[in-house]
Structure 1
């Protein structure tokens, strides 16, 4: 669209847990839920997820608002506040909710969705203890389609946890109560946590300059290209996509040679540590693949995918505190901290988290997007393909002067499929 789309927003209101749903909800035995080492490893940075739905439902703003209130009866810590002492106080103060409308049809705005005002904003760069842990905006389009924008304090939950929560809201919207997955937020102290050295190292990485603005790109990596890399290596879709982005970005933004150009990524550790089914707090650990810009730029995509896979295989060593070699510098290791901020690349997988399965009555999402405008480190979100023939990547990883070269590298790969 040539002109900016006007999004009209209501004033934020606080949605509190539904008292009528309380009888079906699990009992919270304490007023405060202690944060785990995985939670403490997270910065209180607001994460922004956007789900676009092209199939109408009845009064999406009010329908989802009611279901959100019911869901909070099952997920009461999400309606609380950080207490500043290493816990979430289950105060029931509620989550922020905004209803909105857009002056166009959804299909007219597909290319501009990332630039539209479709998510609620936290007041600061980092979330404060007194801020809601969750903010939700539902925007209706003139065609009947709608978008659900979710902003959450990363200390509350990781992507898998938010995916579980949104699926619960969807089930309650469709009349399923209680939700099919029983939510658990209290950490079982018998389950292994992160080494204290890793938690301390991550906290020291807070950048006084705050997030930077990089060029936003929404990339479609064809499934045919991904399939070729997988056939050659036996890797996953994430590993194949990460290899594509890593090489294209390195060739476009960095000088070839011995400049350090690591790739970092988080891994879901639920299966590794044995958390209780339904746990929706943080349970991810960061891993880094050290490399030089020259090595990344000259490697085949298959070789880079294999490097990423080998690093993933070493994640259990990080949890035991006995890592060495390639896996010795997790997402807060000394080597990473000493990098110039633009050298590294973080790639996060939103595949298999269930975002696209959130169904508020009209089916799953047509698009899943990272809706951020700035980032602490150059990074990408690998999003579900939904109803297309490509894996979607929301990217904030290059400066303006490197944008054309980055897109050129991607075009050379994707047009050859």
Structure 2
């Protein structure tokens, strides 16, 4: 059960030989008053000042050659900025309040047109996070003097396929609002389609209460002592440690088997059983000279709070509306307890995220500078459905973030085929000895 992903690369495709053909800025049509156009960012947004890059691969469509795709995307981006007018602003620190803000100054969204001499089918399995995919977006950032919050790069392949690379600062979107953004770009790429959903841009819906009311302990959050005006370090900052990297594939049969093992659990979902399985393997593979069985392991995972607040946030809320849930247990319990008990711990961690708990966490961010605190984080792109977005030239063959290998973040990606395939790929980076043990446990606990 379960398979190890293998994707041998020909050395040539480690360099896609991308050529930039054109770099420009797209501007919204809004008029800006520089003194009154700073956008409030919530305490959730505040700790997410880093760029997220995603790449969306499209096979060739004879009705939409690359130049037509470029024209439609550029036009669509111009149109969507009617409702996303903050996209062409810039991030700034308000040194009086010590808070990051978006200044709606109309400095533009980056738009880059590029090409490669490779065929789409030559660049390897799209599921494997090839470092060369960075060329499909990062090159564009280097073409601008300042730091746009959003840069779009369209790269054409020799076969007529295209890669849509998008880099956005995480303060703009979480996964749900980013998908809505893509759906709106896709809809405006057609000749006569309305917006999929007009975004709700009122980020004060997630403002802290006045005065703040921290009613829970929040062990999942780490306090920082920073002077006012200083920016916090990146969440889960990467280290220079040498890591092994592997992808573990769980088929629908594997997922059903994990659900059967968790038959007596309170809430059996694909995410809950996969998270419990990974947590167990990661915790027990930890290298320590001390007695590992007495060590407490903490797993973190994101929960969308839109439906959990009272009243609920609009589904179209634009910004970050996810908070970090956690589950903790001694390694002895993770090793000895029935799998259903571990699944229950994951379920209880998400259920903890009530309206009051979420508001308390937001208020905690008002009192303390800090960020999520745990042994590792599971970040799931599995059910997000980015490859289900329909453009005039079709759906993406595959959509994925461009990632670096980090031992404190384990990623869940869909298989090619998206939600309809139901399988999941688990991307893991660990030091060599820990990886060996993780791999052994991964398959052992699948039996």
**TM-score bracket relative to the smaller structure:** 0.7 to 0.9
Bigger Cα Rg: 2
Report the alpha carbon displacement of residue 196 of structure 1 after superposing the two structures with TM: 7.5
With over 3 angstroms needed to count, the CA separation of the structure-2 counterparts of 1:322 and 1:10, relative to structure 1, is closer
Residue of structure 1 in register with 2:366 after alignment: none
With over 3 angstroms needed to count, the CA separation of the structure-2 counterparts of 1:196 and 1:380, relative to structure 1, is farther
- 1:190-230 Cα offsets, whole Å, 9 max, x none, are 87779676799466673699422544433322112222333
- Residue 73 of structure 2: which of 43, 64, 87 is its match? 64
Map 1:242-391 to 2 at 5 A: 242-255=275-288, 256-273=292-309, 274-316=312-354, 317-321=356-360, 332=371, 336=373, 344-375=375-406, 378-387=408-417, 389-391=421-423
- Residue 393 of structure 1: which of 410, 425, 440 is its match? 425
Residue of structure 1 in register with 2:11 after alignment: 3
- Residue 89 of structure 2: which of 80, 95, 99 is its match? 80
Report the alpha carbon displacement of residue 314 of structure 1 after superposing the two structures with TM: 0.5
Residue of structure 1 in register with 2:104 after alignment: 90
SS state of the match for residue 293, structure 2? coil
SS state of the match for residue 206, structure 1? coil
* Consecutive unaligned residues in structure 1, runs of 5 or more: 23-29, 125-129, 324-330
With over 3 angstroms needed to count, the CA separation of the structure-2 counterparts of 1:207 and 1:165, relative to structure 1, is closer
Q: Would the aligned equivalents of 1:385 and 1:391 in 2 still touch at CA under 8 Å?
A: yes
Report the alpha carbon displacement of residue 300 of structure 1 after superposing the two structures with TM: 4.4
Matched residues in 2 for 1:74 and 1:226: separation? 40
SS state of the match for residue 294, structure 2? coil
Matched residues in 1 for 2:326 and 2:351: separation? 12
- Say yes or no: does 1:44 pair with 2:74: no
Residue of structure 1 in register with 2:37 after alignment: 31
SS state of the match for residue 239, structure 1? helix
Report the alpha carbon displacement of residue 284 of structure 1 after superposing the two structures with TM: 0.9
Residue of structure 2 in register with 1:121 after alignment: 138
SS state of the match for residue 378, structure 2? strand
Deviates more, 1:235-244 or 1:51-60: 51-60
With over 3 angstroms needed to count, the CA separation of the structure-2 counterparts of 1:144 and 1:200, relative to structure 1, is same
Matched residues in 1 for 2:123 and 2:445: separation? 27
Report the alpha carbon displacement of residue 379 of structure 1 after superposing the two structures with TM: 1.0
Map 1:195-274 to 2 at 5 A: 201=222, 206=233, 210-212=237-239, 214-231=243-260, 232=263, 233=265, 234-255=267-288, 256-273=292-309, 274=312
Report the alpha carbon displacement of residue 164 of structure 1 after superposing the two structures with TM: 0.8
* Consecutive unaligned residues in structure 2, runs of 5 or more: 1-8, 31-35, 95-99, 226-231, 363-369
With over 3 angstroms needed to count, the CA separation of the structure-2 counterparts of 1:224 and 1:196, relative to structure 1, is farther
Residue of structure 1 in register with 2:171 after alignment: 155
TM-score normalised over the length of structure 1: 0.79
Deviates more, 1:173-182 or 1:193-202: 193-202
With over 3 angstroms needed to count, the CA separation of the structure-2 counterparts of 1:83 and 1:292, relative to structure 1, is same
SS state of the match for residue 82, structure 2? helix
With over 3 angstroms needed to count, the CA separation of the structure-2 counterparts of 1:2 and 1:386, relative to structure 1, is closer
- Say yes or no: does 1:101 pair with 2:115: yes
Count of equivalent residues: 385
Report the alpha carbon displacement of residue 123 of structure 1 after superposing the two structures with TM: 11
With over 3 angstroms needed to count, the CA separation of the structure-2 counterparts of 1:34 and 1:18, relative to structure 1, is closer
With over 3 angstroms needed to count, the CA separation of the structure-2 counterparts of 1:313 and 1:209, relative to structure 1, is closer
Residue of structure 2 in register with 1:182 after alignment: 198
Quote the RMSD (CA, aligned, Å): 3.5
- 1:207-256 Cα offsets, whole Å, 9 max, x none, are 69942254443332211222233352442221122122222333334454
TM-score normalised over the length of structure 2: 0.74
Report the alpha carbon displacement of residue 403 of structure 1 after superposing the two structures with TM: 3.1
Report the alpha carbon displacement of residue 116 of structure 1 after superposing the two structures with TM: 1.7
Deviates more, 1:152-161 or 1:87-96: 87-96
SS state of the match for residue 309, structure 1? helix
- 1:56-83 Cα offsets, whole Å, 9 max, x none, are 3421344323322332232111221113
